[in-house]
Amino acid sequence: MAIARFFHNVDLFITMTTNPEWPEIRQQLLPGQTSYDRPDLVARVFKLKLGEFLTDILKRGIFGRVSAHLYVVEFQKRGLPHIHLLLILHKEDGIRSPGDIDSCVAAHWPNPEEHPSLFQTVKSCMIHGPCGNINPNTRCMKEGRCTKGYPKPYQETTTVTDDGYPSYATPDDGRCFPVSVRRSTFAVDNRWIVPYNPYLSAKFNCHINVESVASLRTIKYCFKYVHMVHLIISNLIFVIFVKQYVILHESSLVDNS
């Protein structure tokens, strides 16, 4: 909170998650292996991707000049590393208006003919659920409602709500595509798209949720999220496990040589 007090505002809250289908992972698996069998490989590929990801944001300035940043790397229960990143932009590059939000965040289907790679990434990585009445058994459902607020209502323009959270443009443009989830196929329109940045999603081909932090009322939640103690402990345990796995794996190679 001292960082937020000094710089007065946080502009973006970004989450990037490993894609186990990255070719750098798939091509190095032995016959019969999955990415979950190789936490060492997954961690190394993620670290390389993360370095380029941070270079784009912090050095190349795809969102503008960065005054401060804070991030934490976590490992999901199924072993996939991901990062939560808070960005504080230079006051002249800060995100203040709905137009500023639209310049870096999208929450709708891209044109599949003009941007085929981005379309495939959104289709495979940036769909919430679906849940609700069409799929009521998902984990996000509680008392018959989605805890994440999906499906979002249609709206033509981006607005900022009274509680400080942006409501992104999800136009009713007729775009609706079939998406397969756990052997079921659903018709998904713009209301189910998780907010993303087109450049980052197209380049890294993974789940990258980009959220605008439009009000000071949302800052406390973001900073609390990146400092959850039990997840930090889980990270330490996983890092120790990965190191032990690598040591044992390298030892077996020596023994067999």
| Confidence at residue 9, expressed as pLDDT on a 0 to 100 scale | 75
Burial class (CB in 10 A: 0-12, 13-18, 19+), 114: exposed
| Confidence at residue 123, expressed as pLDDT on a 0 to 100 scale | 95
Contacts of 19 by beta carbon, 8 Å cutoff, 6+ apart: 125, 204, 205, 206, 207
Contacts of 253 by beta carbon, 8 Å cutoff, 6+ apart: none
Considering only 4-8, 25-29, 147-151, 171-175, which range has the smallest mean pLDDT?
A: 4-8
* Ramachandran region, residue 46 (left: φ > 0; alpha: ψ -120 to 50; beta: rest): alpha
| Confidence at residue 193, expressed as pLDDT on a 0 to 100 scale | 96
49-58: per-residue pLDDT in tens? 999 999 999 9
70-106: per-residue pLDDT in tens? 888 888 666 789 998 889 898 899 888 899 999 999 9
Model confidence, pTM: 0.83
- pLDDT tier, 137 (very low <50, low <70, confident <90, very high otherwise): confident
Residue 246, amino acid:
V
pLDDT at 240 over 80: no
State the Cα angle at 113 between 111 and 114, rounded to 5°.
70
- Once rounded to an integer, what is the mean pLDDT over residues 146-156? 91
- Once rounded to an integer, what is the mean pLDDT over residues 166-180? 92
Q: Indicate the average pLDDT of the chain.
A: 83
Taking the domains of the chain in order of start, what are their residue ranges? 2-256
